[in-house]
């Protein structure tokens, strides 16, 4: 009986082997046929609809943020060459040691697994190659049943036919699951260890290599998963030391437990900056930005400290933008004081939010005025009350300085001179120029009027910085650059290089704010800077150029609420210089910024300190000033004149008659400027009155009169009442004039003294208005008046 039983067992074993042999042959034949058929098909795409996370890096390569892919997974593609060799070796050792020998399917391994798991009933063994795992992941197969497993085998052969081993291994690393919603070794390396896959240590590589085999059980995202992962890693470590005995010297170190980071540990730096980058369509893959992580962090800390120190003033939010002028690359971007602070609407981006710039736009009106030959830096401009139709601008301090140089008017941010200069701009005017520089102006020029230069519109900090960078870049406008390796955009000329340099040099003379915190900055590199305060104290601005940097800061509230402490110079200015102090010194660049290029059409000459014109022989003091030859309105100064004075009486003589008379120098200002000095409380040393009437002595006007009102370019509408029909007649006269006479056509209207206004009851029609002074000077304009309907 036993003999028969033995024979039956031998027979069954032989039959089983025979059956297995035929089954294997049948499977091999079927796979071969299927493989031949699949090989005739075109190569399948390895990454169809492969959705990546957005990985944003600073200029030094540090991770700023890793954002979820569109399908809410962390997934990042990486080339095989950027995966640490130890990661590749450990994965092959653990998952597929014969990867480079088999054609995608390891038949001996399948046979062993079938024999061990099915026939002998032992522990289940896997036989999937990396190619088979890639097929399952790439084609989203369900391999829990026979048909799915067979499909996996065929597709593994299909992939192997069309792709190299290196391409398949690379694709596996980009698809492999590493726990939770983390896929691909690149994302896993960044999340778990805060580093790129190429920088993984052997210890870290061993840990990651065992996760894909059971990503749910071995996920380090949970405490239990981390324990299971450590057990699997230790098993692989033993295997690793057998195959790589040279590592025995560090076996103890490799066996040490690992520390894993988690998704909540991912950096979330420069959130506003990255949000804006994503808004431009930069959503998937790696982005190596121009942002400097250390500078960004230092700016954030300094801004926070500044707000804490000044919390008693109601300062709780600020924004800042720092760029490198020569490349237009963004270095630091602070959209708000705290992205996560709901109380200040921290997720609003103050760098891109449109706000009123206040006086921060004034430098560009001066630049255009320089370019169009209206002024040079030392030209006198009038800071006096003046109406422009229905517009009645005032200065911030509600005071008026009288005649001041253009440079003083700009750095002291006087409103009246800026408005007057804007009114004089042509081809282009200020509205046209802003539009050409990319500033959004949703309304017509008439809507903004002359309030444009005072901040009567909105633009973003981003746009404002581009305008200021232009002053240091020879008048050329360029777009901002976000990525470290991006090519600079073509430059668009917006100002002449001469006008840009002169404006920059004027802003350089702006005194820095003095405070205890900033005393150490008073003797550092030159800075060209300007401030701005919007209407009703809603926005405080400060913008600066220093060396190769352009920096802008803003303080305010995103809800537009007012705060009387939000003043550009006192609120934003100190913060500006605290942030500038964080930047490295660039002696050569800082000097070059304020040194004109040799090919610029600029000259520096001695100018009369009082008038800003070329000094005549009587001008007592001069100072050097820039002008643009052939453009700037330079003329010989005639303000200082020598007149004969009787020695005995001190009164003026009609002629010089030595030794009874002597020549003394006095200032003869045009009547409107003399009146301006008087209104500003400045006492002038004027020539004494004549001792007697001068007869037979020719008296000539040195400066012809200039009609200030009415303006020839306007058509005046006459009202119904006598008061509404009055036309104010005003003119500026030579300083020696004592009386002038007004005429309409050939009709005499009346006489005035310099500085006096004559009112005429107007009538509809076109007239020739004329004024004649008592020194023979004449001025006339054509005047149009209409009755209102």
Residue 670 has pLDDT above 90, yes or no: no
Tens-place pLDDT, residues 264-277: 999 999 999 999 99
CA angle in degrees (0–180, nearest 5) for 84-138-135: 90
The answer to whether 254 touches 206, Cβ cutoff 8 Å, is yes
Q: Does residue 389 or residue 677 have the better pLDDT?
A: 677
What are the sequence ranges of the domains in the chain?
A: 1-34, 41-51+67-260, 358-593, 706-787
Which CATH number is 358-593 given? 3.40.710.10
- How sure is the predictor about 319, in pLDDT bands with cuts at 50, 70 and 90? very high
CA atoms within 13 A on the CB side of 530: 29
Helix (H, G, I), strand (E, B) or coil at 526: coil
Q: How far apart are CA 690 and CA 684, in angstroms?
A: 18
Same fold flag, 41-51+67-260 and 706-787? no
Residue with more model confidence, 772 or 539: 539
Spatial CA neighbour of 552 closest among 360, 300, 301 = 360
250 is written with which tokens?
């560090």
pLDDT band for position 424 (cuts 50, 70, 90): very high
User: Tokens 């089954």 correspond to what residue?
Assistant: 23
Q: For residue 433, give Cα distances in angstroms to 4, 368, 445.
A: 109, 9, 11
Rg (CA), the chain: 41
Give me the chain's average pLDDT, please. 89
Top pLDDT among 747 and 59 is at 59
The CATH number given to 706-787 is 2.60.40.10
Q: Cα–Cα distance between 399 and 393 in angstroms, integer?
A: 12
CA atoms within 13 A on the CB side of 147: 0
pTM, full prediction: 0.84
Contact 774, 734 (CB under 8 A): no
* pLDDT score of 34 more than 90: no
| Amino acid 455: pLDDT | 92
One of 3.40.50.300, 3.30.420.340, 2.40.50.180, 1.10.3810.10 is the CATH number of 41-51+67-260, namely 1.10.3810.10
pLDDT per residue as tens digits for the range 138-197: 999 998 888 888 899 889 999 999 999 999 999 999 999 999 999 999 999 999 999 999
**CB of 568 closer than 8 Å to CB of 533:** yes
The per-residue pLDDT for 28 is 66
| Pure H helices in 339-444 | 362-371, 406-411, 415-424, 430-436
Q: For residues 547 and 590, is the Cβ–Cβ distance under 8 A?
A: yes
pLDDT digits (tens, 9 = 90+) for 85-112: 999 999 999 999 999 999 988 776 665 6
- Confidence band of 618 (pLDDT split at 50, 70, 90): confident
Q: Are strands 758-761 and 740-744 parallel, antiparallel or unpaired?
A: unpaired
**Token pair in block for residue 783:** 């005047």
pLDDT of 427-459, one tens digit each? 999 999 999 999 999 999 999 999 999 999 999
- What is the reported pLDDT for 35? 64
What pLDDT is recorded for position 109?
Answer: 64
Q: Which tens digits make up the pLDDT trace of 456-514?
A: 999 999 999 999 999 999 999 999 999 998 887 889 999 999 999 999 999 999 998 87
The SS3 call for residue 15 is helix
* Other C-beta atoms lying within 10 Å of the C-beta of residue 259: 9
SS3 at position 23: helix
Pairing of strands 476-477, 492-493: antiparallel
CA distances from 730 to 292, 705, 744, 755, 770 (A): 59, 10, 14, 8, 11
């Amino acid at each position: 009986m036993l003999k028969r039983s033995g024979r039956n067992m031998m027979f069954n074993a032989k039959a089983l082997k025979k059956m297995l042999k035929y089954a294997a042959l049948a499977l091999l034949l079927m796979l071969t046929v299927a493989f031949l058929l699949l090989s005739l098909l075109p190569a399948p795409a390895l990454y169809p609809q492969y959705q990546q996370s957005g990985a944003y890096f600073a200029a030094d390569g540090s991770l700023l943020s890793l954002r979820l892919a569109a399908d809410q997974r962390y997934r990042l593609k990486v080339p095989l060459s950027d995966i640490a060799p130890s990661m590749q070796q450990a994965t092959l050792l653990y998952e597929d040691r014969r990867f480079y020998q088999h054609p995608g399917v390891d038949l001996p391994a399948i046979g062993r697994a079938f024999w061990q798991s099915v026939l002998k009933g032992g522990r289940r063994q896997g036989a999937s190659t990396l190619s088979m795992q890639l097929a399952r992941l790439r084609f989203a197969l369900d391999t829990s049943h026979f048909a799915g497993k067979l499909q996996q085998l065929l597709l593994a052969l299909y992939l192997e036919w069309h792709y190299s081993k290196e391409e398949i291994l690379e694709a596996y690393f980009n698809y492999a699951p590493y726990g939770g919603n983390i896929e691909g070794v690149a994302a896993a390396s960044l999340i778990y260890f805060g580093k790129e896959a190429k920088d993984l240590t052997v210890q870290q590589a061993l840990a990651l290599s065992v996760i894909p085999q059971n990503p749910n059980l071995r996920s380090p995202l949970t405490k239990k998963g981390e324990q299971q992962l450590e057990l699997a890693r230790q098993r692989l470590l033993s295997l690793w030391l057998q195959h790589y005995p040279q590592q025995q010297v560090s076996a103890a170190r490799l066996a040490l437990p690992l520390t894993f980071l988690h998704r909540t540990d991912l950096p979330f730096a420069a959130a506003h900056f990255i949000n804006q980058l994503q808004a431009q369509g930069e959503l998937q893959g790696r982005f190596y930005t121009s942002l400097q992580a250390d500078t960004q962090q230092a700016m954030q800390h300094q801004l926070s400290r500044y707000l804490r120190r000044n919390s008693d003033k109601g300062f709780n939010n600020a924004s800042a933008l720092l760029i490198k002028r020569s490349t237009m690359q963004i270095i630091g971007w602070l959209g708000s004081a705290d992205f996560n602070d709901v109380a200040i609407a921290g997720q609003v981006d103050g760098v891109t939010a449109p706000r009123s710039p206040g006086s921060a736009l004034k430098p560009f009106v001066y630049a255009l005025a320089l370019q169009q030959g209206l002024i040079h830096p030392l030209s006198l401009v009038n800071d006096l009350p003046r109406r422009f139709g229905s517009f009645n601008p005032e200065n911030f301090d509600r005071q008026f300085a009288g005649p001041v140089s253009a440079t003083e008017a700009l750095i002291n941010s006087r409103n009246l001179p800026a408005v007057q200069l804007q009114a004089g701009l042509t081809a282009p005017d200020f509205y046209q120029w802003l539009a050409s520089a990319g500033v959004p102006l949703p309304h017509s020029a008439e809507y903004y009027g002359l309030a444009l230069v005072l901040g009567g519109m909105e633009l973003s900090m981003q746009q404002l910085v581009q305008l200021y960078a232009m002053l240091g870049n020879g008048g050329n406008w360029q777009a901002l650059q976000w990525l470290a390796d991006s090519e600079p955009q073509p430059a668009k000329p917006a100002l002449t290089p001469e006008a840009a340099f002169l404006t920059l040099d004027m802003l350089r003379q702006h005194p820095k704010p003095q405070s205890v915190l900033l005393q150490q900055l008073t003797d550092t590199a030159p800075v060209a800077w300007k401030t701005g305060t919007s209407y009703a104290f809603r926005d405080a601005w400060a913008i600066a150029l220093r060396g190769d940097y352009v920096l802008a800061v803003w303080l305010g509230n995103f809800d537009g609420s007012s705060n009387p402490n939000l003043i550009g110079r006192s609120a934003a200015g100190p913060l500006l210089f605290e942030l500038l102090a964080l930047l490295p010194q660039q002696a050569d660049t800082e000097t070059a910024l304020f040194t004109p290029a040799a090919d610029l059409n600029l000259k520096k000459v001695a100018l009369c300190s009082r008038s800003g014109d070329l000094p005549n022989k009587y001008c007592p003091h001069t100072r050097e000033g820039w002008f643009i030859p052939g453009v700037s309105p330079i003329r010989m100064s005639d303000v200082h004149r020598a007149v004969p004075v009787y020695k005995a009486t001190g009164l003026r003589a009609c002629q010089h008659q030595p030794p009874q008379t002597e020549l003394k120098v006095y200032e003869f200002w045009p009547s409107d400027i003399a009146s301006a000095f008087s209104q500003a409380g400045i006492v002038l040393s004027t020539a004494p009155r004549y001792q007697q009437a001068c007869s037979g002595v020719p008296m000539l006007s040195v400066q012809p009169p200039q009609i200030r009102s009415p303006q020839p370019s306007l058509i005046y509408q006459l009202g119904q009442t006598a008061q509404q029909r009055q036309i104010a007649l005003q003119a500026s006269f030579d300083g020696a004039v004592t009386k002038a006479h007004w005429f309409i056509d050939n009709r005499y209207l009346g006489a005035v003294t310099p500085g006096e206004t004559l009112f005429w009851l107007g009538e509809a029609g076109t007239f020739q208005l004329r004024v004649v002074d008592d020194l023979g000077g004449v001025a006339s304009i054509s005047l149009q008046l209409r009755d209102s309907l």
